[in-house]
Amino acid sequence: MTDPDRHYKILIDHSPDAIVVHEGRRLVFVNPAALRLVGAHSRDQVVGHLFSEFVDQGSLGALRERIRSLEVEGVPSTPTEMMLRCIGGRQTPVESRSVLTLWEGRPAYLAVLRDLSAQRAAERAAAAAEHQFASVVSTLAEGVVVQDPDGIVQSINAAAASALGVDAAAVVGRDLPRELVRAITVVDTDGRPVAHADLPHATTSRTGRPTRFLLGVTRPDGTQVWLRGTSALIDDHPLSHLVASFTDITAERAAAAQLAYQATHDSLTDLPNRLHVVSVLTETMASAERGPIAVLYVDLDNLKTINDSFGHSIGDAVLREVSRRLRAVVPDGCQVGRVGGDEFVVLLAGPSADTDEVSEAVHHALSRPLELDGWTMGVGASIGHVVVPQGDGRTIDDLLRDADMAMYAAKGAGGNRTVRFSTDRTG
């Protein structure tokens, strides 16, 4: 054996890859790495044997075809995966590359085998982890949508599909945000439509930063849901996919709105309550562009008599009917609220608010008989009238007090009339 041949064999013996040489179908050389790969303790267990003894039947056909295709010495075959049958019956996946060569002066085939066991185990673990992750995401109550940089949906879980009112399988591979804007309405918290370029995924793609959002989405069936969530890049590079996670807060938002409504409205008449009337009056007086304001303080003249004669259920019905009639005669843009048991406030503002005309309309509306539960009854009102010119220095409490005083002046004069407040308490 020449020195180059000796050096060549030394390199092969010390190679970390399994290397075998076969002449025809019979193995003539295996390096230590190949012995370890097939579970052999000595070369005698392998050398001299047919290579088919160590190859799974399902891989033999492709192996023989690859060997027959080798015609030029030194040109390796393309990598091929196959399954080895190791001593003891264990099977091991390998990647094999063969090359036509000379071995001790005779034509032979040298094959390099790379053990794929660790790679396959890692792939199985990754697949299991991905499956587990997908299973977790699919069962989340929070909606999750993954999109590519162009907005094309890569995956969408059941919660997201349900919240958006779409078929999960049908939207994968489509530009869901653009289709949502085209087919249905997406609005912000002020009710303004949101353009495609301003949707969370587009903002995140443009800025590279997470985008928090609260949007109202009208689904294909016409119902609206409110979604709160975050859109963020999955990886820190410009072409990263994006993930949007969100929660359907429609019920929460509706409950909050209902609580806010209940806090500012009278439960019996559904009119704004004193808190709300004072808030509106405060905002109106603070407006730099406001014109004159008028306050009508309306007190029913004989509700106590009705309660005593017919019971409080009839009295409640009277209050509801009075509220309906007041709403009907108060101009649009003006406010009517219930501020006490039988007391109402009408806030008039704007050019259409003729206070004398509205006051007369209230008296006329309440003068009509009420038909309730088979009973006919009448109810009148004493009204205190206060005008609030621009630059008026009175506080809200001052205005309501003055209107209340004028109302009591009307009641003291026999009721069923309006008295305008003046400093001498006459009208």
Task: Note the pLDDT tens digit of each residue in 358-380.
Answer: 999 999 999 999 888 888 888 89
Q: Which two structure tokens, joined as six digits, stand for 199?
A: 């949707």
Question: What's the per-residue H, E or C state across 331-371?
Answer: CCCCEEEECCCCEEEEEEECCCCCHHHHHHHHHHHHHCCEE
Compute the average pLDDT of residues 263-277. Answer: 93
Q: Comparing C-alpha atoms, which of 200, 201, 87, 214 is closest to residue 152?
A: 201
pLDDT band, residue 27 (cuts 50/70/90): very high
User: What is the tens place of the pLDDT at every residue in 396-422?
Assistant: 899 999 999 999 999 999 999 999 998
Predicted confidence (pLDDT) at residue 271 exceeds the cutoff of 90? yes
Confidence bin at 124 (pLDDT 50/70/90): confident
- Tokens at 34, concatenated: 């190949």
- Over residues 128-132, the mean pLDDT reads 72
- Kindly list the domain boundaries of the chain, sorted by start residue: 3-115, 122-253, 265-420
Q: Are both 3-115 and 122-253 of the same fold?
A: yes
Could you give the CA distance from residue 340 to residue 337 in angstroms, rounded to a whole number?
Answer: 9
| Residue 314 burial class via C-beta count within 10 angstroms: exposed 0-12, middle 13-18, buried 19 and up | middle
Task: Tell me how far apart the alpha carbons of residues 290 and 390 are, in angstroms, rounded to a whole number.
Answer: 8
Q: Is 172 helix (H, G, I), strand (E, B) or coil?
A: coil
- Among all chains, which residue has been given the structure tokens 């009238």? 385
Rounded Cα distance, 359 and 342, in Å:
17
Q: Name the pLDDT band for 394 (thresholds 50, 70, 90).
A: confident
CA separation, residue 336 to residues 128, 321, 351 (Å): 65, 14, 17
Residue 195 φ/ψ region, left for φ over 0, alpha for ψ in the -120 to 50 degree band, beta for the rest = beta
Percent above pLDDT 70 for the chain: 93
- Between 230-244, 256-270, 321-335, the lowest mean confidence (pLDDT) is in 230-244
pLDDT number for residue 426: 45
Q: Does domain 3-115 have CATH number 3.30.450.20?
A: yes
**Secondary structure of residue 410 in the 3-state scheme:** helix
Second-level CATH architecture of 122-253: 2-Layer Sandwich (3.30)
Beta pairing partners, 175: 152
Q: State the Cα–Cα distance between residues 378 and 374, nearest whole angstrom.
A: 13
The span from the CA of 211 to the CA of 195, in Å, is 15
pLDDT band of 167, cuts 50, 70, 90: confident
Strands 370-372 and 343-349 turn out to be unpaired
pLDDT band, very low/low/confident/very high, at 114 (cuts 50, 70, 90): very high
CA distance 178 to 184: 10
Intra-chain end-to-end CA distance of the chain, in Å: 133
pLDDT at 294 over 50: yes
In angstroms, how far is CA 51 from the centroid of its own chain?
A: 60
Token duo for residue 369: 């008989």
Residue position matching structure tokens 């808190």:
275
Instruction: For residues 398 and 276, give the distance between their C-alpha atoms in angstroms, rounded to a whole number.
Output: 17
CA distance 353 to 277: 17
- Nearest of 363, 367, 383 to residue 297 by alpha carbon: 383
Does the 265-420 domain belong in CATH 3.10.310.30?
Answer: no
